[in-house]
Structure 1
């Protein structure tokens, strides 16, 4: 992440893909869940989900993927893939 800003993350949990915006200090984070395990949500689907949450991908940013494990420190644990991208509040244009 470049500089202070907001970060969205996406992961597959309990067989469903979920995208959420990390809001430190908030009791609940805005989130959207797809009712499927496969295929991985497309770039367009992710952008639509973020827009429903009131956010858009920050200019010049793209999704980055990292690998984690379900059980910390267990090399035999199933792999969890997590995607992340910088976001910003959705720009609303309208009459002044």
Structure 2
């Protein structure tokens, strides 16, 4: 059975990036940059980016959006949107 991970997408330096969170490891997290701020990457673009990284959404998984802020202590701080979805390694699925 393939291990599951969380993929997240957020903006970094004004551009969207998607990355797979690998906990309890010193490995670099797989990351894909969209090189733009707008429009927000579509579902298809996100799925394609996950494929480039060797992952796919877990069947039935849906993207969840969370609102945060750049400075949690300042209610006037700019909003940061973070999207997350459960994924699995495509390599482990095909093995």
Q: TM-score, length-normalised on structure 1?
A: 0.88
Give the secondary structure class of the aligned counterpart of 1:49. helix
Give the secondary structure class of the aligned counterpart of 1:50. helix
- The answer to whether the 8 A contact 2:68-2:82 is kept is yes
- The alignment's C-alpha RMSD in Å is 1.4
Q: Which consecutive aligned stretches of 4+ in structure 1 deviate over 4 angstroms post-superposition?
A: none
- The answer to whether the 8 A contact 2:4-2:89 is kept is no
Q: Indicate yes or no: 2:51 matched with 1:51.
A: yes
Q: TM-score, length-normalised on structure 2?
A: 0.88
Deviations 1:49-73 (A, max 9, x none): 0001110000110100000000122
Q: Aligned residue for 2:83?
A: 83
Instruction: Mark the runs of 5 or more structure 2 residues left unpaired by the alignment.
Output: none
Structure (1/2) with the larger helix percentage: 2
